[in-house]
């Protein structure tokens, strides 16, 4: 087993208990999604104030809600097209909120350079999601590129807990640029193959 797989399994145990509790209480998954974004806005607020460890703790709580909503929907047999759409839209708000918190923090510190790094990382993070969503309206699947939302969120937490947010922002920025490029190239190749097959 890989070590990321082991970490995933270890985290899954407490999450399973929380999922069971939500299922027993019959909490609607869309409400869990919405509570997640509200807590994430709290995390963004604390990031903006420079309280990284507090922000990290709040992010952990917020992302528990983010993670379990789909599983609770499955257990409650409440999986719906709107639920998926709602989850994706709310996730974007959560992402934007966290970046906005950092942009506010760096602007109050007078660090225009890091305002730009955070803003660019925010743009490419959103573009990562957009390119996949748009590509999958044209081709079957566009799940390429490393820097997806779970990686971004875990990196945010690592940056907050260990006070290494600058390094984390650079990683998110560079790998998000490559992820977007990867998805554009992948979609281009897939569409070109389809066209060649249609001609042949």
Partner 1 sequence: MKPAPPLPLPLRILWNAFFWTYERTTWQYDLMVIAILAFVWLTPPDWLGDPMAIGSGPVGWIVASFRQ
Residues making contact with partner 1 (CB under 8 A): 1-5, 8, 50, 52, 105-106, 109, 111, 113-114, 144-146, 155, 158-159, 162-168, 170-171, 175, 178-179, 181-182, 185-186, 189
Please give the C-alpha separations between residue 174 and each of 90, 101, 116, 129, in angstroms, as whole numbers: 24, 20, 13, 15
Q: Which is nearer to partner 1, 28 or 111 (CB)?
A: 111
- Closest approach of partner 1 to the CB of residue 81, in Å: 25
User: 10 Å Cβ neighbour count for 29?
Assistant: 25
- Closest approach of partner 1 to the CB of residue 52, in Å: 7
What tokens appear for 57 in the block? 């703790």
CA dihedral (62, 63, 68, 73) in degrees, to 10, reads 70
Q: Which is nearer to partner 1, 18 or 154 (CB)?
A: 154
Q: Which is nearer to partner 1, 75 or 151 (CB)?
A: 151
Q: Which is nearer to partner 1, 74 or 146 (CB)?
A: 146
If you write DSSP's letter for every residue of 91-105 in order, what string do you get?
HHHHHHHHHHHHHHH
- Closest approach of partner 1 to the CB of residue 120, in Å: 15
Q: Which is nearer to partner 1, 123 or 158 (CB)?
A: 158
Please give the C-alpha separations between residue 105 and each of 92, 101, 159, 167, in angstroms, as whole numbers: 20, 6, 14, 16
- Closest approach of partner 1 to the CB of residue 139, in Å: 13
CA distance 20 to 71: 10
CA distance 31 to 137: 27
- Closest approach of partner 1 to the CB of residue 189, in Å: 7
């Amino acid at each position: 087993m890989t070590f990321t797989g082991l970490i995933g399994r270890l985290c899954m145990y407490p999450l399973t208990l929380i999922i069971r509790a939500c299922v027993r209480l019959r909490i609607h998954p869309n409400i869990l999604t919405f509570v997640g974004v509200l807590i994430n806005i709290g995390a963004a607020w604390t990031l903006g104030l420079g309280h990284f460890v507090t922000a990290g703790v709040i992010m952990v709580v917020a992302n528990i809600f983010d993670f379990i909503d789909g599983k609770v929907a499955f257990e409650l047999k409440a999986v719906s097209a709107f639920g998926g759409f709602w989850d994706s839209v709310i996730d974007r708000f959560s992402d934007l909120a966290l970046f906005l918190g950092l942009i506010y923090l760096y602007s109050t510190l007078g660090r225009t350079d890091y305002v730009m790094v955070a803003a660019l990382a925010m743009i490419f993070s959103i573009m990562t999601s957009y390119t996949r969503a748009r590509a999958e309206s044209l081709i079957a699947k566009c799940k390429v590129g490393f820097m997806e939302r779970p990686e971004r969120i875990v990196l945010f937490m690592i940056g907050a807990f260990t006070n290494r947010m600058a390094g984390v922002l650079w990683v998110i920025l560079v790998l998000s640029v490559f992820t977007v490029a990867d998805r554009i190239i992948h979609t281009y190749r897939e569409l070109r193959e389809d066209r060649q097959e249609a001609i042949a």
